[in-house]
Structure 1
């Protein structure tokens, strides 16, 4: 069953990623979530993983995305897939914001980052039954993984 929600009904909010934040709109259904995220210049998320596949499309700007030990320089129009469970993080090294579209399956509607404002796309008589969505798990401070070594690939 398809459900329409006006873009005006999906509010842009600030998503807190611990030591950084970004502006986003988010919606979800039973088996996926969809996020439009605008990341400011200098945005740098902590390395994290979640038990869902993530598909990205960079709508505007540029951003570096790191997946495990690889670095990808995305420019407007580029796509990227992050496998479920893969350690990843982003860094907007430019002096302009970037806007990235993210699809997660299963959805991240239970993650504290978006849980309080994501809009469920369900009909009035429909009983929502979202899959038990994963949450972001940040890399432990005492981890032996050297994410800064991977970031040197972006120099």
Structure 2
């Protein structure tokens, strides 16, 4: 282990979200995890929650991100925060891949989506002291109709849409 990981030592893997997947590289420390996630055109995640705050930066491309009943159309350079425990999902309907940088606090290093390949950044002899071990959860029945929320946001930009 080391505080530093050379680019080639952090694997580029596939995160399987059930009906969809994306490519990602992930590292973690004690308090946070960082993912570089490339989502293909047409990517549509299942609504999910995790007991950690998520900060996003759109490195390249564009992506719709839905947080409970709000929609955000992220474009290159945009930022977005998803509060801990908030139901959220994303949809890449741009016609091209996009790359999103995600920071989760506490980190998602124990989440089965990335636990098999996330690289720890800890000093030689350091004993990790994690803040927590949240994992993604996929509720069977969201409290609202996902399709209705997406149609309202992407077809008719109305007050429920926040384009940043």
TM-score (structure 1 length as normaliser):
0.95
In structure 1, the residue matched to 2:80 is: 80
* Aligned positions of 1:133-152 closer than 5 A: 133-140=133-140, 142-152=141-151
Gaps of 5+ in 1: none
In structure 1, the residue matched to 2:104 is: 104
Deviation, structure 1 residue 130: 1.8
RMSD over aligned Cα, in angstroms? 1.1
Deviation, structure 1 residue 132: 2.3
Provide the rounded CA distance (Å) in 1 between the counterparts of 2:55 and 2:88.
Answer: 13
Runs of 4+ in structure 1 off by over 4 angstroms are: none
Secondary structure of 1:137's match? coil
Provide the rounded CA distance (Å) in 1 between the counterparts of 2:113 and 2:144.
Answer: 24
In structure 2, the residue matched to 1:32 is: 32
Deviation, structure 1 residue 145: 2.1
Provide the rounded CA distance (Å) in 2 between the counterparts of 1:144 and 1:125.
Answer: 46
Query: How many correspondences in the alignment?
Result: 153
Deviation, structure 1 residue 131: 2.4
Provide the rounded CA distance (Å) in 1 between the counterparts of 2:31 and 2:130.
Answer: 6
* Aligned positions of 1:6-155 closer than 5 A: 6-140=6-140, 142-152=141-151, 153-155=153-155
Contact 1:5 / 1:121 at 8 angstroms: preserved in 2? yes
Gaps of 5+ in 2: 156-164
Deviation, structure 1 residue 95: 1.1
Provide the rounded CA distance (Å) in 1 between the counterparts of 2:131 and 2:109.
Answer: 9
Provide the rounded CA distance (Å) in 2 between the counterparts of 1:70 and 1:16.
Answer: 25
Deviation, structure 1 residue 144: 4.4
